[in-house]
Every structure is written in structure tokens, then in C-alpha cells.
Chain A
């Protein structure tokens, strides 16, 4: 009795299975690499396992934690080379819109641009594109809900400037 597992949440497996794919997708949005995203997810669930976050708030918490952790990793320079992205990652094609074909090179510059954005702006962008509502993004980042749209729009403009391609009319 002296040694055994302590403080392991009884709901951990259920939360893990229910949210794992989503957490990986959030981290992959930042890192562009599934392997690294899975490392981040493992870390985030480890933190979750030690926390007392209520299970019904797990989704939001995990999304925010994955975003911050992945952004930190992206900036830390410990990120592996783009080897994995190059290996086998064809361009993502959204069939209806020819403009949405994003080349590998562009993918890589998007991530470089993401790493250069102010942390809060980058986090707001990733959280929004991960499906959090404006109110949730505002709560997670301690912003006013009214400023989320402006912050996200600004981040998108920055990224597209890096890509040198705007969908805007001019």
C-alpha cells in the first residue's frame, strides 16, 4: 500500500479515448507533424491526469493546453527539422476551391510565421480554428470577447502576408 499509483483519475481513460484524436489535431495544426503532435498530446494528458479539472471541462482545457504546449515547442527551436512534413505529406486539397491548394513550402512558412506571432495572437488563431467559440477563446486567453475577432483576423492577415497571397479582391 505504500507505493502504488496515487491520484490517478478514474475518468482518465474515458477522457483520453474521447479527446485524444482532437488533441492531436490541435497540436498538429501548430506543429504540422503528427509525431510531434502525439508527443504533445501525451504530455498534455499527463498534466491533465495530475490536475483536478472537471471531466466536463476537459475538452476545452485540453485544447488550450495542447495549443500552448505546441506553440511553446514550435518556438523553442527544439522542433525537429521539417523531415516529417516532407516525408509523404502531399498538398492538402480542398476540392471545390482551387486556391486552397497549399504547397508543402507554404505550409512550412505558415508555421514559421506562426512562431513569430505574439503568443496570444497565435493562441487565439489556433483555438478558433480548433473549434472553440469566441467566448471560450476570450475566457482561455483572458481577453474581452469583442477583441477575439480582431485578434484572429490580424493573425490571419499576418500569416497570409507571409504566404504573400490574400484572397482579398485587390
Chain B
């Protein structure tokens, strides 16, 4: 018979019962496999030893519990211990994506992009962190196959000393939290970022090449489309961020100029959008991003882990706000737009706690 795979041999080291009788019988009588098994066993032992950290065994559980229980537990929203008001789950595909994107842009604009891997979200059944990297945050749809995509202005996010400096740099007030939720302690760090803008210029040549690569002809290009541009813009932004000692943010409060999409060159935005969507071989994810582009909503398309996040609506001092909650409730965000300025709070807190923070902002 064939020799069992390396993976089977590796399992034989740890869990002989997990390997089939046939495989076990083969290995027992096969010098080649026995050697490979010994080598797998020795490698496993060596790695196990290398991974063992000396001193990790004698932890002081009593002291650790004392430290843990001294950390303030989350306090209930003082005026609303029950669930936040909900006007029903969003039913369309478009709005949640838009809202989630806005939240991400909000954080980006505020310079939180620097906080790589900032948010581990755990699912109760299957534990998986969601890593939102700086690269994910600053994406505009990758339209480079169909024209020129140029970042015309970098946001240059930076950490600043205080709220006053942030205001000076951006002209935006950092929202002031009147009452910190339980579990959020210490002083925040402040971030400020300028405007980020990008220009996409449609190129019929490039689009034809992309179509040819798919073995298809380019659909007829509407008059005036070749060489026309879309302008994507967001910012400036400010943020205050509270973090745990490991650097994972517990609370982020941010304000940012709401992102916009602008068409120029004499062609309607919808024309560009419809045409892009008609292109052969357009990747489905890119298509979704393009569909979500809109002038009225003022959004930038960005990828979010939509399968891990649910959205609902709430009222923040008279404004319609969107509440994003990870499915297990460990992370949430609240976002709303007022006079073209988007404000948001997010963190490893419950939606109720964040709504309480949102409503108490000055």
C-alpha cells in the first residue's frame, strides 16, 4: 500500500487512535515510515520545547484575579438598561454596507489605520479574530484595470498631543466624552488626519485590454466616458482613543468629514457606474463596491467583515444613527452624519454602552 501522508504520521505521534488501523499496521512494518515517524516525533518534541516559556507555569492566580476583578465592570447605560430602540433590521443590502463602510472610513480618516489588527472579534461557536489591517482600511475600489487610479492627497494621519492640537490641524472639534463607560480607563491618545482623495480616470483602452483578457469584446463605450473622472474624497478627521495595555482599543470616538464621490468631465456618475458594472469579467467583490458607490449617501466602498456584523438603527439626540454590532456583542460601533460631518464611537463595548457615550458627547 501507499505510505501514509506526513499529516497522518504527525497525528500518529499525538493521537494513535485517530489513525486508521490500516495506516497503523503499515507504519509498524515499514522501515521508511518508522523513520519518518521518529523524525516527526523528534521535530514535535523540539518545537514543543522551543515554545515552552520558562516561568509561565508559576503564575499567581490569586493576584491575577484581584487585578482582574479590580478592573471596573461595564456599567449599565444609566437611563436605558434594556436594549436600544430598534426600528427593525435593515433589509436592503446597500445600506448596511454603506454604514459599515462609513464606520471604517471614519476610523481611517482618524488615523486609527495605524492600529493594525486592532480588533479581535470572537464568535462564540468558532473563535476567529477579525484583523482589519491598515491596507484594508485605505482601499478604494481597485479600478486600475479600467483606467488610472491615483491617490491625489494622502491623509497623513498622525498622533497629536491633545484635543486642541487636533482641532488646530483639522478645524474639527474632538467630541468630548462626558462619562467614560466602565472598563475604559486612563487618558486617550489623540489622532488627526487630513483629507484623503483619489481620482479614477476611465480608460477605454485599458478596459478593452481587461475585456480581451477575459476573451470578450468591450461593450460600446458611451459618448464622453473615455477619459472622464470620478473623485473620491474623505476627511479631515480627528479621534480620541482609549486602549488596554496590550494596545487593543477599548473605545474610539471620532469625527470626520463625510466621504463623497464626485463625477466630473461632463458625464453623469450613474453612467460611469452602470458602464463599469456592465464590463465582462468584473470580479463580484468589485462589482459590489461599485454598486455601493453613491453620490447622495456620501460613502466610499471598503471591505468589511459583513458576515460578522449586524446593523440596526437608533436615535442619537434626534439624528438617525446606524449601530453596528459584532454577532456576539463583543464589539460595536455607532455612526451618524450631521451637516456633512460624520461622528462615530466604536470599541469593545456593548451597543448600549456606546449609545450612551454617543448621546453624552459634547
Instruction: Enumerate chain A interface residues (CB-CB to B < 8 A).
Output: 2-8, 13, 16-17, 20-21, 24-25, 28-34, 36-43, 45-47, 49-53, 61, 64-65, 68-69, 72-73, 75-78, 88-90, 92, 94, 97, 99-100, 102, 106-107, 110, 119, 125-126, 128-129, 133-135, 139-140, 142, 145-153, 156-157, 159-160, 163, 165-169
Contact = CB atoms under 8 A, between A and B. Distances in A.
Indicate the size class of the contact surface on chain B: 35 or more
Interface in B104-151: 116-117, 120, 122, 124, 126-129, 131
Max count, chain B CB within 10 A of own CB: residue among A4, A52, A150, A153: A153
Contacts of A100: 45-46, 49
Nearest to A146: B7
B75 A92 contact: no
B75 A34 contact: no
Contacts of A68: 120, 122, 127-129
B7 A150 contact: yes
Contacts of A78: 246-247
Contact of B120 (A5, A72, A92): A72
30 contacts: A16-B68, A24-B59, A29-B51, A29-B52, A36-B246, A37-B53, A38-B59, A47-B348, A49-B73, A50-B350, A53-B124, A61-B124, A64-B127, A69-B246, A72-B129, A72-B131, A73-B246, A92-B54, A134-B14, A134-B18, A135-B18, A145-B18, A149-B5, A149-B6, A149-B11, A151-B7, A156-B10, A156-B44, A167-B39, A168-B39
B67 interface: yes
A126 B127 CA distance: 14
Contact of A97 (B45, B67, B78, B329): B45
B71 A42 contact: yes
A21 B64 CA distance: 10
A153 B59 contact: no
Nearest to B73: A5
B99 to A, nearest CB: 23
A90 B18 CA distance: 37
Contacts of A8: 73
B43 interface: yes
B43 A166 contact: yes
Contact of A99 (B46, B120, B129, B182): B46
A47 B122 contact: yes
Given A2-B81, A17-B65, A39-B245, A50 B74 contact: yes
Given A149-B10, A153-B10, 20 more contacts: A2-B81, A3-B78, A7-B350, A8-B73, A20-B61, A21-B57, A25-B57, A29-B51, A31-B53, A33-B53, A37-B56, A38-B64, A40-B246, A41-B64, A46-B183, A49-B73, A51-B328, A65-B122, A150-B6, A166-B43
A117 B245 CA distance: 25
A98 B307 CA distance: 50
B7 A165 contact: no
Nearest to B76: A6
B50 interface: yes
B49 A102 contact: yes
Majority SS of interface residues in chain B?
A: loop
A80 to B, nearest CB: 10
Contacts of B256: none
Contact of B5 (A7, A33, A97, A150): A150
A125 B59 contact: no
A149 to B, nearest CB: 3
Which A-B residue pairs are the 4 nearest by beta carbons? Answer: A150-B7, A167-B42, A149-B7, A28-B56
Contacts of B51: 29-30, 110, 126, 129
A2 B59 contact: no
Interface in B177-202: 182-183
Contact of B65 (A13, A39, A53, A102): A13
B15 A134 contact: yes
A95 B359 CA distance: 62
Nearest to A50: B330
A163 B42 CA distance: 14
Contacts of A149: 5-11
A102 B61 contact: no
A46 B11 CA distance: 34
Interface string B1-43: 0000111111100110010000000000000000100011011
A72 B330 contact: no
Contacts of A3: 75-76, 78
A120 to B, nearest CB: 10
A3 B81 CA distance: 9
A78 B328 CA distance: 27
Given A6-B75, A65-B127, A165 B10 contact: no
B161 interface: no
